[in-house]
Amino acid sequence: MEKRKISVFIPSLAGGGAERIAIFVTDTLDKAGYDVELVYARNRGALAEHSTVKTLGVSLEAANEMVCLPQLVRYLRQRKPELVIAMIHSAKIMAGLARYFAPQTRLAISVHVNLLAPRRYRFWLRRFFGFGFERHLYRHVVGTHAVSHELEEQVIRCFGIPPQKSFMIYNPINENEYSSTIPAEHMPLFDRPVILSAGRLVPQKDHAAMIRSFAASGLAGSCRLVIFGEGPLRPKLEKQIHDLKLEAAVVMPGHVPDIRPYLDKACGYALSSRFEGLPLVLLEALRAGIPIVSYACLCGPAEILANGKLGCLIEPGDEAGFARALREMMDGHGPKPSAEEINEQLLKFSPDTIRAQYIAFVEHCLSPAARRNSFDK
């Protein structure tokens, strides 16, 4: 029996979460017996040397992901995949346009980012023109996938997707083995109890609010806030730390390839994001067995922390409440979930669970019913 052809389409090989999930999905479908290719508009990025890219990757050799339409249409006409799963906004838009020139191809879209983030943080097309263009473009999709229940609701609302076409599949937690050793230069960070945080130094993560709350918590003399990550806000955050005289208590060591060894040594984790898609680092903190304080932002923290049962959720913007929660966490007064409760939650995000759900999603998209129910005009 001939294998069914599927293409997973992404803009580039950048090392972000969605690109890594694209590789995970490609591997999953390959092992499940599909004829699958990982297609990318630009052959550049941190994942260029990944083994899956080497064996199943196809580069369109486009100058930019937003001008790859001719190359994508040529690929669809030549390779004739039954299904294209497009991830990341620019790839979804290009795939939606390409399908007009290759209508035999079924299209599914995967959504990983908060669609209703404050307007200034949105993808430029949505920021200036809303969702009307994409609602029209995706009217023929055979399925959509979102990485949290809150995000699934946004997909249905913003893109006008019928609920029967919508699937929710969490991103899988990383179960690869890792070394518990951290670099020698980072060991002095743990000469006192550490509250850990990690994320790009960008407005979305709102580390400035976290630093203000830490300063107000009164923990600076006994604890250390360690923020891993890099980004354009580093100079402003460093100035804030200096102005608050917190140089010894708040440290930003930069990016680390794996946060798990540091979580094993930390006493707590804090997340101050204004919005998210699905912050898997909270799961890593749960698995490490450390308490968590997080803003209850859209989307993801409330789902991961079981609406506050597994960690402390603070109303977004309540910096005084966040400071109180940090202090209570370090005093041992926060939520204390049992090992059974944590393991039950982690099971929802296990790679085996997620693989089975992706295969079910693909089978739905390839079914005759999905084709009949597509809402082409």
Average of pLDDT values for 62-79? 94
Q: Is the pLDDT of residue 375 over 90?
A: no
Average of pLDDT values for 172-189? 92
- Between 44 and 374, the more confident residue is 44
Q: 18 is written with which tokens?
A: 């969605």
Q: Which of 14-23, 28-37, 125-134, 207-216 has the lowest mean pLDDT?
A: 14-23
Can you name the CATH fold of 5-172+350-373? Rossmann fold (3.40.50)
**pLDDT tens across 81-95, in order?**
999 999 999 999 999
Domains of the chain, by residue range, sit at 5-172+350-373, 184-347
Mean pLDDT of all residues belonging to the chain: 94
Q: 93 is written with which tokens?
A: 């838009």
CB 25 within 8 A of CB 356: no
Starting at the edge strand that comes first in sequence, how are the strands of the sheet with 5-10 ordered? 57-59, 35-40, 5-10, 83-87, 106-111, 143-146, 166-168
58-67, 308-317, 366-375 — which one is most confidently predicted on average?
Answer: 308-317
0.75 surpassed by pTM? yes
Q: Do the first three CATH levels of 5-172+350-373 and 184-347 match, i.e. the same topology?
A: yes
Q: Is the pLDDT of residue 377 over 60?
A: no
Q: Is the pLDDT of residue 240 over 70?
A: yes
Average of pLDDT values for 131-154? 95
Average of pLDDT values for 312-330? 97
Sole residue written with tokens 């479908």: 29
Q: Which residues of 74-105 are buried (b: 16+ CB within 10 A; e: fewer)?
A: ebbeeeebbbbbbbbbbbbbbbbebbeebeeb
**pLDDT tens across 98-110, in order?**
999 999 999 999 9
Does the bond joining 299 to the residue before it have cis omega, within 30 degrees of 0? yes
What pLDDT is attached to residue 345? Answer: 96
Q: Is the pLDDT of residue 15 over 80?
A: no
What pLDDT is attached to residue 59? Answer: 97
Q: Is the pLDDT of residue 170 over 60?
A: yes
What pLDDT is attached to residue 325? Answer: 98
**Residue type at position 1:** M
Q: Is the pLDDT of residue 372 over 80?
A: no
CB 348 within 8 A of CB 305: no
Other C-beta atoms closer than 10 Å to the C-beta of 336 total 9
Average of pLDDT values for 141-154? 96
Short-list 350, 341, 339, CA closest to 289: 339
Average of pLDDT values for 195-202? 94
**Residues 184-347, CATH architecture:** 3-Layer(aba) Sandwich (3.40)
Q: Is the pLDDT of residue 128 over 50?
A: yes
Average of pLDDT values for 213-240? 97
Residue 136 phi/psi, 5-degree rounding, is -70, -40
Distances (CA, A) of 146 to 6, 165, 167, 359: 19, 11, 6, 15
CA dihedral (147, 148, 152, 155) positive or negative: negative
SS3 237: helix
Q: Helix axis angle, 281-288 relative to 339-347, nearest 10°? A: 150
